[in-house]
Amino acid sequence: MTNQPGRSNFVHVRDVTLRDGFQDERFVATDEKIALFGALVAAGITDLELTSFVRPDRVPALADAEALVRATQSTEGVQRWGLVLNAKGAERALAVGLTNLQFVVSVSESHQRANAGGTVAQSLIQLREIVKIVRATPASVAVEVTLATAFGCPFSGPVPESDVLKVLEKVLEEGIDAVSLADTIGVAVPTEVTSLVSHVRQVTDLTPVGVHLHDTRGLGIANALAALDAGASRIDGTVGGLGGCPFAPGASGNLPLEDLIHALHAMGMNTGVKLEQLLEAAKLACQLVGQPVSSHVGVAGPRFARRPN
Amino acid sequence: MTNQPGRSNFVHVRDVTLRDGFQDERFVATDEKIALFGALVAAGITDLELTSFVRPDRVPALADAEALVRATQSTEGVQRWGLVLNAKGAERALAVGLTNLQFVVSVSESHQRANAGGTVAQSLIQLREIVKIVRATPASVAVEVTLATAFGCPFSGPVPESDVLKVLEKVLEEGIDAVSLADTIGVAVPTEVTSLVSHVRQVTDLTPVGVHLHDTRGLGIANALAALDAGASRIDGTVGGLGGCPFAPGASGNLPLEDLIHALHAMGMNTGVKLEQLLEAAKLACQLVGQPVSSHVGVAGPRFARRPN
């Protein structure tokens, strides 16, 4: 399990607290988001999902997308990601100088319909438009596509690998730069993660494959380790245990990055992240939305760090 | 990860809620313990840690040890385990007809002193006395030894494998029937579990090796899967997330059996346990001590079981 001979010792993580972690929580002011961004970067996080370029009148909490990108643009060596779901979103993101765009499409038609109000095919047309706009700009811009419900759908249940590979094939035809497999509702188990990541890697060739996991059923880290063993190039997570599953109130949310990083460091892996500072960032993030820290390491502390007497 | 060719598809679990899960909680009446025992057995649990034969004046909550053993003795196909820490405890357990005895010794001297008030060597003398008493009875009685703090100590920190193997060697000389490796304070990571279980298995030969894990830092299931891959014969856990770590208030406790069983079944393994009934037993256990269910699957529900709309 990980740390295999010939395998890089470095694990690349991306923090998605500012967008995915906050989206179902109470309003967070732009200044507070900037403070959290600073705390995460100070902790050594180099990839962050900042925001989503959606209609400000529909999602007021994300109306500060441009302001947030502008306020964080001088940070060298940091990849800032923004979600764009259509041409308009891509134009807004590019106009403000963002060079890492994410697009999301569900593998499951029923989830795509509920989440975005259209079909998978309609969504792929929007992806094509986005890629066209991106390739027409002089800047070097990366487009990553997240395949949502890649391990299961809240409406239709299990999602066969063949369905994931079919959507993946179409997505790859658009000439994208990276793929992310999302366990949107936290149903994956390690054997499934190993299998899907391996099979996707066979098709993607040189395109990097990340995973986006939830700890809903206690398998966040086990699935992350399985993904890394199968060749995943990056693991997404939030700090503080933020980011829930709207279909399971009270259930734990996104994979807590501090739990993952604590485990990886103890296993002899390197992440470039300073755990103690990440735990401070987790406290800040939870304060901003008025939630208790619910990550395991956030509650219990790092192993061997605090000893009684 | 698990499910390897040539490996049995069956995973053996032991519930330790009645002893380890309840020991730091509020008083539970004997009738209530019997009801939980019944619910766990109805769910398909075949191994249960019932109680500890300690001085009733010191631990009033366990003063019903004999009564609990008597009330549950007609249950066929179920292994009931009782903790005995000295000759007196063994005599009490045998007098009431218990045939599965557990003995606990810490690998770490500082934990042994804090937990039992003596040295490891003194404890091994007590083990020898217990084994002598057990072998003198006509009944077939199993003696299992749990090596506590096998992965780390709350006082002295990391515990080297060589320390575990030294205590193990002495324990095996006493002619015991099974070994259990306990991550008493929830500090182990999968690579360490793989390594220690493998090395212990090389020494124990035919003696089965179980593991007792905590989910304190989010690694409960990842560690359980690592242990199974390394040849562990049984995994301990509680239901409902009960059983905390006194050194980390608010931290999650013993590995929740429902989380493990949910994962194993989804991975194509068999446990003989009916998950839905185990979730009912978890609710009952938590009601008895006035705690909310805190296992992941207890909160979120099994995957694909409840779908909105």
Residue B305: closest C-alpha in chain A: A157
**Are A178 and A137 contacting, i.e. CB atoms less than 8 angstroms apart?**
no
Question: Smallest CA–CA separation between A301 and chain B, in Å?
Answer: 8
Residue whose structure tokens are 């009801």: B35
What is the separation of C-alpha B152 from the centre of its chain, rounded to a whole number of angstroms? 17
**Which of B110, B159, B217, B229 has the most A C-beta neighbours within 10 Å, making it the best mutation to test the interface with A?**
B217
Question: Smallest CA–CA separation between A226 and chain B, in Å?
Answer: 8
CATH H-level superfamily of B13-300:
Aldolase class I (3.20.20.70)
Q: Decide if pLDDT at A258 tops 70.
A: yes
Residue whose structure tokens are 């993101």: A93
Cβ separation of B218 and A250 shorter than 8 Å? no
Q: What percent of chain A has pLDDT over 90?
A: 84
- Which candidate, B208, B127, B120, places its Cα nearest to that of B163? B120
* Nearest Cβ partner for A218 among B157, B256, B301: B256
Tell me the pLDDT tens digit for each residue of A161-219: 999 999 999 999 999 999 999 999 999 999 999 999 999 999 998 899 999 999 999 99
Average pLDDT over residues A126-144: 97
Tokens of B134: 């057990």
Cβ separation of B157 and A2 shorter than 8 Å? no
What sign results for the dihedral spanned by CA atoms B59, B61, B65, B66?
positive
* A51-255 CATH fold: TIM Barrel (3.20.20)
**Are B232 and B214 contacting, i.e. CB atoms less than 8 angstroms apart?**
no
Residues in chain B: 309
Does residue B286 carry a catalytic annotation?
no
Continuous segment of H or E residues that includes residue A173? helix A161-173
Helices then strands (H, E): number in chain A? 11, 8
**pLDDT at residue A251, rounded to an integer:** 64
Cβ separation of B215 and A218 shorter than 8 Å? yes
* Nearest Cβ partner for B248 among A1, A251, A301: A301
Q: Decide if pLDDT at B244 tops 80.
A: no
**pLDDT at residue A8, rounded to an integer:** 74
Cβ separation of B1 and A191 shorter than 8 Å? yes
Cβ separation of A304 and B194 shorter than 8 Å? no
**pLDDT at residue B307, rounded to an integer:** 47
Looking at beta carbons, which residues of chain A come within 8 Å of B225?
A: 190, 222
**pLDDT at residue B251, rounded to an integer:** 65
Marked catalytic residue, from B245, B255, B279, B281: B245
Q: Decide if pLDDT at B1 tops 70.
A: no
The ipTM assigned to this model is 0.93
Compute how many other C-beta atoms are within 10 angstroms of the C-beta atom of residue A139: 9
Which pLDDT band, with edges at 50, 70 and 90, does B309 fall under? very low
| Positions of A marked active-site | 245
Distance CA B220, CA B185 (A): 11
**pLDDT at residue A64, rounded to an integer:** 95
Tokens of A230: 């199968």
Cβ separation of B154 and A187 shorter than 8 Å? no
pTM: 0.95
Picking from A137-141, A250-254, B24-28, which range would have the lowest pLDDT averaged per residue?
A250-254
Which pLDDT band, with edges at 50, 70 and 90, does B205 fall under? confident
Q: Where are the domains of chain A?
A: 51-255
Tell me the pLDDT tens digit for each residue of A9-50: 999 999 999 999 998 777 899 999 999 999 999 999 999 999
